[in-house]
A and B are shown apart, each in its own frame.
Chain A
Amino acid sequence: DVVMTQTPVSLSVSLGGQTSISCRSSQSLVHSDGNTYLYWYLQKPGQSPQLLIYKVSNRFSGVPDRFSGSGSGTDFTLKISRVEPEDLGVYYCYQGTHYPWTFGGGTKLELK
């Protein structure tokens, strides 16, 4: 199985500040069709995960441009700028390239 390793496990940030989360995969996430199926989700307390970024760097519908994704191959990053209270929760990366599809262990974003 592809192991998705997120760092850090937890993060403290000030409102209005900027931060980033790293996600590394144990294998390249480039699919034979040329796409890289790497996604980012946010799970707010008591809620279901919500999609933020699809295929590395595309923001899902309604996601503010404060969120941006980048990376390639096995190394990916989610950046959050101008952090707002509604950004707090646990962030997960996910790969849909190799079966079984797998999630990272999560990064908890808290207020400093």
Chain B
Amino acid sequence: QVQLQQSGAELVKPGSSVKISCKASGYTFTSYDMHWIKQQPGNGLEWIGWIYPGNGNTKYNQKFNGKATLTADKSSSTAYMQLSSLTSEDSAVYFCARLKRRAPDYWGQGTLVTVSS
């Protein structure tokens, strides 16, 4: 069965960076895009971008250009998202999700990022 296991909650300082991981299992990692989504309380869901682990191609929501960087390690079937220059606006739950037919089908459990001094 498809599983996406995300790394644990992070408490980080303003101005710093954080890297979240998403380990995939139960399917061929290099055959599906991986999608990243942001959820802030009361603000719904925002699409950040996707990466195709097969060749490293990426597509970003322009809003997150310069904020999020997506990478993938084929050898460990793990996708990563690095968030930089963190502010309180980046405090949120971040999900990875497998992409199929231009939409997420299976989702990770979410990683809470809290930006606070």
Q: Mark contacts of A10-53 with chain B using CB atoms, 8 A cut-off: 1 yes-contact digit, 0 otherwise.
A: 00000000000000000000000001010100000000111100
Q: Secondary structure of the B side of the interface?
A: strand
List chain A residues, Cβ under 8 A from B108.
Answer: 48
Which of B47, B105, B109, B110 has a CB less than 8 Å from the CB of A103?
B47
Q: List the A residue with the shortest CB-CB distance to B110.
A: A48
Which of B46, B61, B62, B103 has a CB less than 8 Å from the CB of A96?
B103
Distance between A61 CB and nearest chain B CB, rounded to angstroms: 9
Interface pair B103/A103, CB less than 8 Å apart: no
Interface size on A, residues (CB 8 A): 22
Taking A49-B45, A101-B47 as contacts, is the C-beta distance between A60 and B105 under 8 angstroms?
yes
Distance between A78 CB and nearest chain B CB, rounded to angstroms: 15
A48 to B44, CA, bound (A): 12
Distance between B102 CB and nearest chain A CB, rounded to angstroms: 3
Known: A37-B103, A103-B45. 14 other contacts (CB 8 A): A35-B101, A48-B108, A48-B110, A49-B95, A51-B103, A54-B101, A92-B45, A96-B101, A96-B102, A96-B103, A100-B61, A101-B103, A105-B44, A106-B45
Q: List 22 A-B contacts (CB under 8 A).
A: A37-B101, A39-B103, A48-B95, A48-B109, A49-B95, A49-B107, A51-B103, A54-B101, A54-B105, A55-B101, A60-B105, A92-B44, A92-B45, A94-B103, A97-B102, A100-B47, A100-B62, A101-B47, A103-B44, A103-B45, A104-B44, A106-B44
